[in-house]
Amino acid sequence: MVAGLLTVGLATLAASVLTGVAPSSGQPAPIAAVGGAFIDRTPPWLKDVAIATFGTNDKRALLVGTVVVLTLACAAIGILTLRHLVAGLVTFAVIGAVGVAAVLTRPGAGPLDALPTVLGTVAGLWFLNRCARPVGTPGAANPGRRWLLGGAVGAAAAYAGSLLGGGSTAAAVSRDTLARTPLKGTKLAIPAGADLGVPGLTPYIVPNEDFYRIDTAIVVPRVDANDWRLKVTGMVDREVEIDWKSLQSKQMQEALVTLTCVSNEVGGDLVGNAVWTGWPVRELLAMAGPQAGADMVLQTSVDGFTASTPLAALTDDRNALLAVRMNGEPLPFEHGFPVRVVVPGLYGYVSATKWVTELKVTTYAADVAYWTPRGWSPTGPIKTASRIDVPKAGAVVQAGTVAVAGVAWDQHTGISKVEVQVDQEPWAPARLAVDASIDTWRQWVYEWDATPGSHDIRVRAYDAKGKVQSPLEAPPAPDGATGIHVVTARVQ
C-alpha cells in the first residue's frame, strides 16, 4: 500500500512540476486535466447536484474527490504489485494512460503537452518496480523510507499536482500593470439611494471577493494579457483580430450589470451586481461586419468553454462589454482576466464567457454551445426573480417593526414593483431603492409589524412592463428556475 502511495505520489509530482515549467505548454497538470475532462462529461443532473451541494466550492470538492480516489487507487496498486508485479505495473500504466488522454483532450492540447505525464508515468513505473522488490535484493527500497516518503509525498504530491501548471508569473505581472494604468473614459456615478443600507441586506455592489463563481475550469486559467488575442470569425465580411494593446487603446466605458447563473435556485445566491469596465462588443462586431442570416455568436474561452449568444444582444444598444475591470480593479483571474464578456439580460451560461478568445458569428442551426447538448436552452433570457435576504430562514426576531429586505432583478427590462406577503395576508407593496439601471437588481425593504409566533414571508416582483414573476415552481434546467421565495421566521 505504501509503495503505491509513494509511486503515484512521486509520479504525479514529477508530471506536475514538468507541466509547470514546460515552456508555452498552457495545459493543466494531470489531476486537473482529469478533473476538467470529468466536468466536460458531467450530465446536467450531476452538475445540478454538485452546485446545490457545494455551491461555488464545487471545483474544490471535485479536486479533493479526485485526490481521494487517486489515494485509494495508490493503496490498491501497492498491494497488487507486491503480490503480482506485472499486474501492478500494468494497472499503473493504465492510470498513466488515462492521465495522458485527459491532457490530450483539453482544448488546444498537442502531443508535446502529454510529455510531462508520460515521463511522470515512466518514473512511477521505475519507482514501483523498485518498491516491489523484496527487502535485501539489489535495488530494493529501504522499508523505513517507504513509510516516510509514502505518507508525506503520496498525499502532498497529489494535492500539489492539482495546483501546479495553473499559475503564471507573467499573467500576474500583466494584471498588476493594468492596475497601475489610468482608466480611459468616463467614470460611472452610482446614484444615492441605490443601496438602502439595511443590516444583513446584500450590498448593491457586491465586492469582488464575494462575487459568485460558476464555470467549467477546474484550474483557473492564468493568461498573460500580452499574449491574449481575440478573433472574430464566421459569417463576417472580414475576420478581425485584436490584441491586448489594441484593446487598451479603445474608449472604455463603465456599466452596472447584474449577472445571474442559470443554476440559481429560487432564493439562491448565484447572482451578483458589479461595475464592469470595458469596450462595447458591438463596436468590435461592426469592424467585422456580420452577414445577413447570422443570428448567433459562439463565444469561446481559452479553456474550450463555449456560449451561444443571440447576435442581437451583442449588437443592440445594451451595455454588452468586453470587460477588463470589475468594480474598478483588473478582473480577478477567477472572473476572467484579462478579458471576459458581460451581457445584460441573459443567464451567464449563454453570455458571460471568461478568458474569451474567439467570437464566431454563426447561426443556431449550424452551431451549438457547451451546455446546449447537455439539455439546456440555447438562448437563456433572464426571468424576473426576487429574494428575501433578511430575516434569514429560521431567524428569531423581536416583536415590533421588523425590516424585511432583499433584492429583485430582471436585467435589461427592469423592476417596477415588489410586494411582500406575510402568512395569508394580502400582498403589500415594499419600498424600492433608487433605480440605477435596468440592467441591475433593485434592493427593497418592507416594514413589517411583527407579532409573536411563527410566520411565513413571501416576496414577488414585477418587471418594468408590469408583469409579475411566475409563481409556478420550476427547477433551473433547462432555462432558469421560477417560483416564489418563502422564508419562515419566529417572532418572540
Indicate left, alpha or beta for 412 from its phi (over 0: left) and psi (-120 to 50: alpha). Answer: left
Q: Mean per-residue pLDDT for 61-87?
A: 72
pLDDT for res 265: 96
- pLDDT at 176 exceeding the cut of 80: yes
Cα 204 to Cα 65, 159, 192, 200, 444: the distances in Å are: 36, 37, 11, 12, 11
3-state secondary structure (DSSP) of residue 377: coil
Q: Quick count: other Cβ atoms within 10 Å of Cβ 423?
A: 10
pLDDT in tens, 274-316: 999 999 999 999 999 999 999 999 999 998 899 999 999 999 9
pLDDT for res 92: 77
Identify any residues that bridge with 394 across adjacent strands, giving them in sequence order.
Answer: none
Q: Which set of grid coordinates corresponds to residue 411?
A: 436585467
- pLDDT at 132 exceeding the cut of 70: no
Composition of the chain by helix, strand, coil, percent to 5: 35, 25, 40
Cα 160 to Cα 54, 119, 124, 329: the distances in Å are: 22, 17, 16, 29
CB-based contacts of 78, cutoff 8 Å, min separation 6: 1, 2, 3, 4, 5, 6, 7, 88, 131
Give me the phi and psi of 300, to 5 degrees please: -130, 135
Q: Quick count: other Cβ atoms within 10 Å of Cβ 329?
A: 14
pLDDT in tens, 233-284: 999 999 999 999 999 999 999 999 999 999 999 999 999 999 999 999 999 9
3-state secondary structure (DSSP) of residue 431: strand
* Spatial distance between the Cα atoms of 377 and 382, rounded to a whole number of angstroms: 12
**Bridging pattern class, strands 271-280 and 296-301:** unpaired
- pLDDT at 174 exceeding the cut of 60: yes
* Spatial distance between the Cα atoms of 432 and 209, rounded to a whole number of angstroms: 26
Q: How confident is the model at residue 9 (pLDDT cuts 50, 70, 90)?
A: low
Identify any residues that bridge with 296 across adjacent strands, giving them in sequence order.
Answer: 310, 362
Percent of the chain with pLDDT over 70: 75
Q: Which set of grid coordinates corresponds to residue 342?
A: 458581460
CB-based contacts of 1, cutoff 8 Å, min separation 6: 74, 75, 78, 79, 150
- pLDDT at 4 exceeding the cut of 60: no
3-state secondary structure (DSSP) of residue 356: strand
Q: Mean per-residue pLDDT for 77-99?
A: 79
More confident residue, 288 or 181: 288
H/E element, 274: strand 271-280
Closest CA to 247 of 325, 139, 160, 324: 324
pLDDT for res 120: 73
* Spatial distance between the Cα atoms of 345 and 194, rounded to a whole number of angstroms: 20
pLDDT for res 62: 62
Least trusted range by pLDDT, from 48-52, 89-93, 228-232, 470-474: 48-52
Q: How confident is the model at residue 59 (pLDDT cuts 50, 70, 90)?
A: low
CB-based contacts of 368, cutoff 8 Å, min separation 6: 308, 378
End-to-end CA distance of the chain: 58
Q: Mean per-residue pLDDT for 57-66?
A: 65
Q: How confident is the model at residue 33 (pLDDT cuts 50, 70, 90)?
A: low
Q: Where in 47-187 does DSSP place strands (E)?
A: none
Mean pLDDT across the chain: 84
- pLDDT at 392 exceeding the cut of 80: yes
Domains of the chain: 2-166 (no CATH), 200-374 (3.90.420.10), 385-491 (2.60.40.650)
User: What one-character DSSP code corresponds to residue 222?
Assistant: -
pLDDT for res 301: 96
- pLDDT at 162 exceeding the cut of 50: no
Q: Which range has highest mean pLDDT (4-18, 104-118, 178-192, 214-228)?
A: 214-228
pLDDT in tens, 202-211: 999 999 999 9
Q: How confident is the model at residue 152 (pLDDT cuts 50, 70, 90)?
A: very low
Q: How far is CA 315 from the centre of its chain?
A: 25
Q: Which set of grid coordinates corresponds to residue 487?
A: 422564508
- pLDDT at 56 exceeding the cut of 70: no
